[in-house]
Amino acid sequence: MAYTLSSGAPTSKLIIINSEDADDYLDISPSTGEFLTSSFIWNMDVGLTIDNERFDTLLSLNSAVIPRSWWTIRTNVNDECPFWIGNASDPTNAVLTSVIIPGGVYTATSLLDALAKRMAEACATAGFPGVIFSFLYSRVKLMDVFGFKTAGVPPLSANDILVRFDFRTSVSTTTIRKFLGFKQEEQPWFQINNSGLISASRESGLTVTGRDPELNLYLLATNACDMAAVHALYIHCSLAQDNCIDSGNGGYSDIIARCSITTNPGGIVFFQPSDGLAFKAKINISNIKSIRMSITTEDSREKIDLQGLPWQCALQVDLVPKMSVPRSLTRGERQSRRPSQLPIDPNTVARLEKGLPLQQIKNGSLIKNRNKSRSEIIRRSSKGRSKKDRNARSRSSGKAGDETYGPVSASDGIKIGDTGSGTAAGVEG
């Protein structure tokens, strides 16, 4: 963490929010047409005022409790499976049809069973009755496989059938391809010819004792089956603007926390980061009166549908005293702040003769100074005199040009408190 809380800072504030106390819900469920409890605005009766001149404000998500009540298959979101049905001997007569899987929570097996049943019904409606599909989940490959049932039944009256899934976005943007293990824009196919032989665009190669002998020729999905639907939840807060960079939108976002899903459907998702590990967003708001909260999925950042159930969270606000950073002085400021040379106080010479520490008068107050040699005091007192006078003094001491003087006496012409005709002489503190 880049900030350290100090004892001089105000106490942290905890804002506890329940979605049931919302003043306004912002989004409508595409499945039910009802308002989503996962997206709302709450107006505070008592606002929080912050002194931005003295404190930096850090916002973090202290905790959250979210019910895992969303569906695997969501109506009008990911519930459609479009496919072409036609004759294997003449694919040009294929027609595009589609099936809709009812919204709800599914496993890999229950979803394949529901899909096989509805696809058979769609084939009959399209003029291809009697088709018996056999879809199953392979725990060996963690993938779905698709084919026609041929074992244990009389020769199919519906031979010469071609089925081709169509997951192009130009056909539909609400497909179940993710749960079946296919990529976007893919068009995988499988067929059974007049002889009852199955083939596919990507054969499974599986052989399982007691299962359909044609299983190894079934269509194998491209990717592993993913029934989790949602791997993580993103919690958004309107106060935390421009603190998170989100790959979903390619820019800054108001995401304040990412919550992993570690419970089964029907359970509770808890978010409570370890002490000091929570993400802290620096915000610049002087008065907090209204807060917008929302929960989205990691896929396309859509609002999650909790099926009407409420959720709760707690926001933590920390105030950190601002640290003043001294700026560099300009040349003029540095020159104006140099210590001035002050006159020697009346007792300086006497104290030198007695070997006592020097004192100096500065701004009207008597202060102690560093020990200075007598010659240094005298040398400073001579500043401002003419070169002729200094040479005369140097000749009297026997060394021309040397500014080290002999014993101080009244004949030296030093006047106590007099600075001479030039710059004031004295002792630097």
pLDDT band at 336 (very low <50, low <70, confident <90, very high): confident
pLDDT of residue 417: 41
Using the predicted structure, report yes or no on whether residue 400 has a pLDDT greater than 90: no
Out of 80-89, 198-207, 312-321, 384-393, least confident range: 384-393
Q: Is 29 inside any structural domain?
A: yes
Q: Is 263 inside any structural domain?
A: yes
- Is the domain of 115 the same as that of 234? no
Task: Please say whether the beta carbons of 89 and 194 come within 8 A.
Answer: yes
Using the predicted structure, report yes or no on whether residue 311 has a pLDDT greater than 50: yes
State in Å, rounded, how far the first CA of the chain is from the last one: 43
pLDDT of residue 252: 86
In the chain, how many domains are there?
Answer: 3
Higher pLDDT, 290 or 338: 290
pLDDT of residue 213: 77
- Is the domain of 100 the same as that of 27? no
- Is the domain of 99 the same as that of 156? yes
Domain final position from 165, 185, 220: 220
pLDDT band at 69 (very low <50, low <70, confident <90, very high): very high
- Is the domain of 150 the same as that of 240? no
Domain final position from 321, 351, 383: 321
Using the predicted structure, report yes or no on whether residue 320 has a pLDDT greater than 80: yes
Out of 28-37, 126-135, 233-242, 390-399, least confident range: 390-399
What is the arithmetic mean of pLDDT over 382-391?
Answer: 54
Kindly give the pairing relationship between strand 198-200 and strand 219-220.
unpaired
In whole numbers, what is the pLDDT of the chain averaged over residues?
80
- Is the domain of 93 the same as that of 144? yes
- Is the domain of 110 the same as that of 207? yes
pLDDT band at 26 (very low <50, low <70, confident <90, very high): very high
| Structure token pair of residue 13 | 């504030």
Out of 90-104, 194-208, 314-328, least confident range: 314-328
pLDDT of residue 408: 43
pLDDT of residue 83: 97
Q: What is the dihedral of CA 366, 370, 371, 377, to 10 degrees?
A: -70
| Structure token pair of residue 424 | 């004031």
Residue count of the chain? 429
CATH code, domain carrying 241 = 2.60.120.1100
Task: Please say whether the beta carbons of 288 and 234 come within 8 A.
Answer: no
Higher pLDDT, 36 or 53: 36
Domain span at residue 158?
A: 80-220
Q: Is 118 inside any structural domain?
A: yes
pLDDT band at 98 (very low <50, low <70, confident <90, very high): very high
Q: Is 329 inside any structural domain?
A: no
Q: Is 198 inside any structural domain?
A: yes
Cβ burial of 401 (10 Å; 0-12, 13-18, 19+) is exposed
Residue 179 backbone dihedrals phi, psi, to 5 degrees: -75, -25
- Is the domain of 242 the same as that of 136? no
Separation between Cα atoms, residue 427 and residue 75, nearest integer Å: 89
- Is the domain of 52 the same as that of 89? no
Higher pLDDT, 277 or 172: 172
- Is the domain of 38 the same as that of 85? no
Q: Is 396 inside any structural domain?
A: yes
